[in-house]
Amino acid sequence: MKITAIHPYPVWVGIRNQLIVKVETNEGIVGWGESGLSGREKAVVGAIEHYREFLIGRDPMAIGALWQEMYRSQYFEGGRVLTAAISAIDIALHDIKGKALGVPVYQLLGGKQRRHIPTFATTRGPCGPEMIEQAKELMAGGWTAIRLFPASHDSRGVYEPRASIAETAKWCVKAREELGDEVVLGVDYHHRLSVAEAASYCQKMPSGTLDFLEEPIRDETPEAYEALRRMTGVPFAIGEEFASKWQFLPYIERDIHQFNRIDVCNVGGLTEAMKVAGWSEAHYVDMMPHNPLGPICTAATIHFAASVANFSWLETRASPGELYHGFDDIEIFPVQPRLEGAVYKVPDTPGLGVEVDEDLVKKQSFKFWEAPHLQRIDGSVTNW
């Protein structure tokens, strides 16, 4: 079998752009993948076009070798743009291989280790009484792990960390009081805090209020996370932007974090994700995959989640309200994983178990979109 064509489709679907990639073969088997570098999809398309130049004519079954060649072939190795491109192609190659062998993708990853995939869901905010009501709604829907949305920016895009941590801590304490001890509660701070702010936030809440704190600070410096680790006992969930096993390396080996927010569409696809999972298993770190994209990302992550021993919860793509109305992608992806209560069943059809209406995809356009550019009250830049 040979690869005959690779088509990147950066298209607006539902509430965001999705960069989905089709890989064609001379045997008529096609595979679909998705790339996760949201907001900079055009850059990833360029990388895919470079890879396409040497991938056409190659054996799609040689996934490991092609991964090495994509990562290392340009002399300037790695980086988020390149691994986002590699991720989409790697996932599509797994889809092709599963279809060629007549097995679901989880059979290529060691086989299924669980009957279904538990998920966590997220409140939409604002941080206040509505947050607790939404959490109750999710619990009534079967969720036992919930991520609370912290106090965020105002309508002008002004974000003050100290105001946010005071308000968020207050409502997290109330949430724990009202929701009980059993439910898992976490907060995603989107890299918006300094070490001092993150420590203060944790210290404003009694021990046991939160079960995980996601991305309190930026990740460029593992030593900063180690400093924060010494200042709080709240488990950390990090890694959705990590673009290789090497970015996970210092965090895993120094036991800095407890949950891996790995993104199979950014880290380098299923090939790289399985290596990170094995490494994490040796340190008893659970996989809590990032999954904010489309059905191809969800399906690939379900197969990954089914195949690893060290797993906690998969992120669902929606929040209260949307969970019950669905997205407008069902026509574009007529076969895709659907939530059953708070869990996903693992698809048993060959490949990923996603079907794509390519004619509809071609009719979707790309929209340039910028994440909010937040500022402090004094006008200085801060993270979204």
- Of 79-87, 174-182, 207-215, 347-355, the segment contacting Mg ion by CB under 5 A is 207-215
272 lies in the site for Mg ion, by CB under 5 A: no
In the complex, least distance from residue 228 CB atom to Mg ion, rounded to whole angstroms: 16
Give 90 or 188: the residue with its C-beta nearer to Mg ion.
188
Which range in 35-43, 148-156, 169-177, 184-192 contacts Mg ion by CB under 5 A?
Answer: 184-192
User: Is residue 241 a contact residue for Mg ion (CB under 5 A)?
Assistant: no
Give the binding range for Mg ion (CB under 5 A) out of 15-23, 152-160, 206-214, 344-352.
206-214
Q: Between 239 and 295, whose beta carbon lies closer to Mg ion?
A: 239
Residues 6+ apart with CB under 8 A from 214: 147, 186, 187, 188, 189, 236, 237, 238, 259, 261
User: Smaller CB distance to Mg ion: residue 34 or 188?
Assistant: 188
Spot the catalytic one: 290, 303, 325, 373: 290
| Region class of 17: left (phi > 0), else alpha (psi between -120 and 50), else beta | beta
Q: Does 211 bind Mg ion (CB under 5 A)?
A: no
Sign of CA dihedral 10, 11, 16, 21: negative
By CB under 5 A, residue 188 contacts Mg ion: yes
CB atoms under 10 Å from CB of 119, counted, come to 24
Q: 222: burial class by Cβ within 10 Å (0-12, 13-18, 19+)?
A: middle
d(CA 320, CA 106): 29
Q: Give 105 or 237: the residue with its C-beta nearer to Mg ion.
A: 237
Q: Write down the least CB distance from residue 274 to Mg ion, Å.
A: 22
Under rule CB under 5 A, how many of the chain's residues touch Mg ion?
3
Tokens of 215: 């991305």
CB distance 353 to 23 below 8 Å: no
- Strand order from edge to edge, sheet including 30-35: 3-13, 16-25, 30-35
Cα–Cα distance between 193 and 60 in angstroms, integer? 43
Question: Does residue number 24 form part of the binding site for Mg ion (CB under 5 A)?
Answer: no
Using rule CB under 5 A, residue 219 touches Mg ion: no
Pick the piece of the chain touching Mg ion (CB under 5 A) from 45-53, 186-194, 279-287, 373-381.
Answer: 186-194
Catalytic residue among 7, 116, 153, 190: 190
CB 212 within 8 A of CB 236: yes
- Give me the 307-346 binding string for Mg ion, x by CB under 5 A, dash otherwise: ----------------------------------------
Query: In 102-221, where does DSSP find H-type helix?
Result: 129-140, 161-179, 195-203
Shortest Cβ 166–Mg ion spacing (Å): 21
Spatial CB neighbours of 46, under 8 Å, sequence gap ≥ 6: none
Minimum Å gap between C-beta 365 and Mg ion is 28
> What is the closest distance, in whole angstroms, from the C-beta atom of residue 383 to Mg ion in the complex?
11
290 is catalytic: yes
Cis-peptide, bond into residue 235, ω within 30° of zero: no
Instruction: CB nearer to Mg ion: give 265 or 361.
Output: 265
Contact segment (CB under 5 A) with Mg ion among 16-24, 100-108, 180-188, 372-380 equals: 180-188
Toward Mg ion, which CB reaches closer, 95 or 215?
A: 215
For Mg ion, which residue has the nearest CB? 188
Residue 116 C-beta: closest distance to Mg ion, Å: 23
Q: How far is the CB of 147 from Mg ion (least distance, A)?
A: 9
Q: How far is the CB of 340 from Mg ion (least distance, A)?
A: 25
User: Would you count residue 34 as binding Mg ion (CB under 5 A)?
Assistant: no
294 Cβ contact list (under 8 Å, min separation 6)? 13, 14, 18, 20, 34, 317, 329, 333
Dihedral, CA of residue 261, residue 127, residue 206 and residue 165, to nearest 10? 80
Parallel, antiparallel or unpaired: strands 236-238 and 30-35? unpaired
Q: What is the C-alpha separation between 370 and 375, in angstroms, rounded?
A: 15
Q: Which is nearer to Mg ion, 110 or 125 (CB)?
A: 125
Active site residues: 190, 290
List residues near Mg ion by CB under 5 A.
Answer: 188, 214-215
